Amino acid sequence: MANTLWYNIAIFLLISSFLADNAVVVLDAFHHVPNKIKNQPYRTGYHFQPPKNWMNDWTGPMVYKGIYHLFYQWNPNGAVMEVNDTVWGHATSTDLINWITHSPAIKPSRPSDINGCWSGSVTILPDGKPVILYTGNDRYNRQVQNLAKPKNLTDPYLRHWTKSPENPLVTPNAVNHINSTAFRDPTTAWIGRDGQWRITTGSQEGRRGLAILHTSRDFVRWKKSPKPLHYHDGTGMWECPDFFPVARSDSHGVDTTTFREKMIKHVLKVSLSDTYFDYYTIGTYDQVRDVYVPDNGFVQDKTAPRYDYGKFYASKTFYDSVNQRRILWGWVNESSPEKDNANKGWAGLQAIPRKVWLGESGKRLVQWPVKEIERLRTTQVKWGNKVLKGGGTVMEVHGVTASQADVEVFFKVSGLDLEKADVIEPGWTDPQMICSLKNASSGLGPFGLMVMASKNLEEYTSVYFRIFKVREDSKEHVVVMCSDQSRSSLEKGNDKTTYGAFVDISPYQTLSLRTLIDNSIVENFGGKGKACITSRVYPKLAVGERTHLFAFNKGSQNVDVLSLSAWSMKSSL
């Protein structure tokens, strides 16, 4: 009896203290947030996904008073995209890894957004307060730009947002030459030389894609600039533009309103709705003419470099003032048919947040998973110096939870063997095409990892390098990284495209590959983040504990593994 009493008191104290610590969140969760779908094989352990239903773009990223906010395009009613129902889903975190889901921050409710609250951005004003600019699909299905402010700045989670009575702030019409169904996704605002705010918004005129520019003194009345920030013919709609500075000399992030011209370059990223990929150029923001000029060699079309050569769209960066870094996140869609998504009750993931900076060459951005992710690492398996003999070696990496892991491997190929590499064909300029054609064993590669693999390799996703010589008599090489999903699942209906990317490194140095594996997503970082490929896979056999991890070499020459570390990963909140 006494025992039961003490037990009840203990439980009561435990619950009370939990509620005291988490009262706001718990109440919020009880009132508005649906229960999380659990115990499904393709739900992730440490990649963000909403409790249920459809998610696409992440939108309005920010850090405010030490709390990271993730807003995302969410369909509260089902696992398929319904643009007219889209709300701003909302989650917060103190470490970018463990997220608490709140009720939606913005929902359709006014004539200016009644047919959907679409993507946009947050700007932190000079007084430190955040504001949201978002696209509303209005009652006439026109795309207009709206403003929202936090209702209560003392709420650490900023769960409630008030829409401006002045909405819509910016409307498209024939007079200002803006197409009303192609005017969306305002960027984070920045202050120009004249002290006025500027935003750029994605648009299309005929086949010309453009980033329209608006200026404002008070953030409420916006005036269209005579010239767009940038445009390019033949590219179609520019969705989710992102325009930000990067430091020239180190990997620190730079705030959007930084214009020390000698110290920075600018990046313009656009999501091309024609291809569903994100392309960026590096260039200069000419503040006098108020235009962006890409550096020589860059064109803002589908020849531009991509953040990620797999599945990754509608991405956006923000400046993390807490850690002085710029962080990039992207939406990773499903590769499964719509009916499977409806059956699962959810669709869409967000990639692990990546720190992004300008690489030493000044011609490419480099991306690396935020360091916080390493806190989820548990048991480590380590290999030192192993030879992967040419001609078909496959070695299992034992002792790691292969369905939820972080793997980093450093390969080395001898100089002599590099001379034996195949010569690249003159027309092979598309890495995806090379990866699709050149899967057979020959020369240097393929060598790499087989992830999400079943024990007897009925299923696996192989992530590998192939190295080519530029010419027979040359010591210059081309390194290609591939992610081949063709054997990823016995299930037939999924998109199993093989992805490929060139990696801008000399193979005389170490070739590194980091792979984040999380049940149905595989994120790859080649050459310490110089090339990235993300894919979605849905194995039938290689599920949970029945998942295996292998290193392999199917090329004819030997490859050394200088070291391999594989960590089992805990699940996040």
Give catalytic residue positions. 57
Helix (H, G, I), strand (E, B) or coil at 177: coil
Q: Do the strands 422-423 and 222-224 form a parallel or antiparallel pair, or are they unpaired?
A: unpaired
List the interface residues with ligand DQQ, window 547-566 (CB under 6 A).
none
* Residue with smaller CB distance to ligand DQQ, 115 or 454: 115
**Contact (Cβ atoms closer than 8 angstroms) between residue 326 and residue 342:** no
* Residue with smaller CB distance to ligand DQQ, 202 or 507: 202
Question: Which residue among 93, 101, 112, 119 contacts ligand DQQ (CB under 6 A)?
Answer: 119
* Residue with smaller CB distance to ligand DQQ, 143 or 461: 143
* Residue with smaller CB distance to ligand DQQ, 82 or 194: 82
| The amino acid at 31 | H
Q: How far is Cα 332 from Cα 351, in angstroms, rounded to an integer? A: 6
Tell whether residue 138 is a contact of ligand DQQ (CB under 6 A): no
Q: DSSP letter for 432, please.
A: H
Question: Which residue among 83, 153, 220, 387 contacts ligand DQQ (CB under 6 A)?
Answer: 83
* Residue with smaller CB distance to ligand DQQ, 328 or 503: 328
SS3 annotation, 125-175: CCCCCEEEEEEEECCCCCEEEEEEEECCCCCCCCCCEEECCCCCCECCCCC
Question: Which residue among 240, 356, 516, 533 contacts ligand DQQ (CB under 6 A)?
Answer: 240
Question: Which residue among 28, 113, 138, 239 contacts ligand DQQ (CB under 6 A)?
Answer: 239
Residue 38 burial by Cβ neighbours in a 10 Å radius (0-12, 13-18, 19+): exposed
Question: Which residue among 184, 232, 487, 554 contacts ligand DQQ (CB under 6 A)?
Answer: 184
Q: How far is Cα 7 from Cα 204, in angstroms, rounded to an integer? A: 66
Q: Which residue is nearest to ligand DQQ (CB)?
A: 118
How many residues in total does the chain contain? 573
Tell whether residue 201 is a contact of ligand DQQ (CB under 6 A): no
Report CA torsion sign: 30, 76, 59, 527. positive
Question: Which residue among 86, 401, 483, 547 contacts ligand DQQ (CB under 6 A)?
Answer: 86
List the interface residues with ligand DQQ, window 391-420 (CB under 6 A).
none
Q: How far is Cα 496 from Cα 335, in angstroms, rounded to an integer? A: 8
Smallest gap from Cβ 333 to ligand DQQ, in A, equals 9
* Residue with smaller CB distance to ligand DQQ, 77 or 324: 77
**CA distances (Å), origin 172, targets 118, 147, 178, 201, 227:** 16, 16, 5, 11, 16
Question: Which residue among 28, 85, 113, 185 contacts ligand DQQ (CB under 6 A)?
Answer: 185
Tell whether residue 55 is a contact of ligand DQQ (CB under 6 A): no
* Residue with smaller CB distance to ligand DQQ, 64 or 88: 88
* Residue with smaller CB distance to ligand DQQ, 272 or 444: 272
Tell whether residue 118 is a contact of ligand DQQ (CB under 6 A): yes
Smallest gap from Cβ 402 to ligand DQQ, in A, equals 32
Question: Which residue among 123, 135, 454, 557 contacts ligand DQQ (CB under 6 A)?
Answer: 135
Burial 129-167 (b: 16+ CB within 10 A, else e): ebbbbbbbbbeeebbbbbbbbbeeeeeebbbebebbeeb
Tell whether residue 71 is a contact of ligand DQQ (CB under 6 A): no
Cβ neighbours, 10 Å, residue 457: 16
Question: Which residue among 28, 57, 290, 523 contacts ligand DQQ (CB under 6 A)?
Answer: 57
Burial 62-87 (b: 16+ CB within 10 A, else e): bbbeeebbbbbbbbbebbebeeebbb
Question: Which residue among 314, 373, 478, 566 contacts ligand DQQ (CB under 6 A)?
Answer: 314
**Contact (Cβ atoms closer than 8 angstroms) between residue 233 and residue 241:** no
* Residue with smaller CB distance to ligand DQQ, 118 or 157: 118
* Residue with smaller CB distance to ligand DQQ, 183 or 468: 183
> Tokens 């401006």 map to which residue?
164
Report CA torsion sign: 300, 304, 306, 309. positive
Tell whether residue 88 is a contact of ligand DQQ (CB under 6 A): no
Tell whether residue 300 is a contact of ligand DQQ (CB under 6 A): no
Cβ neighbours, 10 Å, residue 302: 14
Tell whether residue 75 is a contact of ligand DQQ (CB under 6 A): no
Cβ neighbours, 10 Å, residue 31: 8
Tell whether residue 85 is a contact of ligand DQQ (CB under 6 A): no
Q: How far is Cα 557 from Cα 252, in angstroms, rounded to an integer? A: 40
Tell whether residue 498 is a contact of ligand DQQ (CB under 6 A): no
**Contact (Cβ atoms closer than 8 angstroms) between residue 259 and residue 194:** no
* Widest pairwise Cα distance in the chain: 88
Smallest gap from Cβ 560 to ligand DQQ, in A, equals 43
Tokens read off for 82: 């319904």
* Residue with smaller CB distance to ligand DQQ, 170 or 467: 170
List the interface residues with ligand DQQ, window 162-181 (CB under 6 A).
none
Smallest gap from Cβ 303 to ligand DQQ, in A, equals 21
Tell whether residue 145 is a contact of ligand DQQ (CB under 6 A): no
Which residues share a beta bridge with 285? 292
Q: How far is Cα 72 from Cα 132, in angstroms, rounded to an integer? A: 13
Smallest gap from Cβ 83 to ligand DQQ, in A, equals 6
Smallest gap from Cβ 57 to ligand DQQ, in A, equals 5
Smallest gap from Cβ 119 to ligand DQQ, in A, equals 4
How many residues sit in the footprint of ligand DQQ (CB under 6 A)?
A: 13
Question: Which residue among 53, 73, 145, 341 contacts ligand DQQ (CB under 6 A)?
Answer: 73
Smallest gap from Cβ 308 to ligand DQQ, in A, equals 15
The site for ligand DQQ (CB under 6 A) is made up of: 56-57, 73, 83, 86, 118-119, 135, 184-185, 239-240, 314
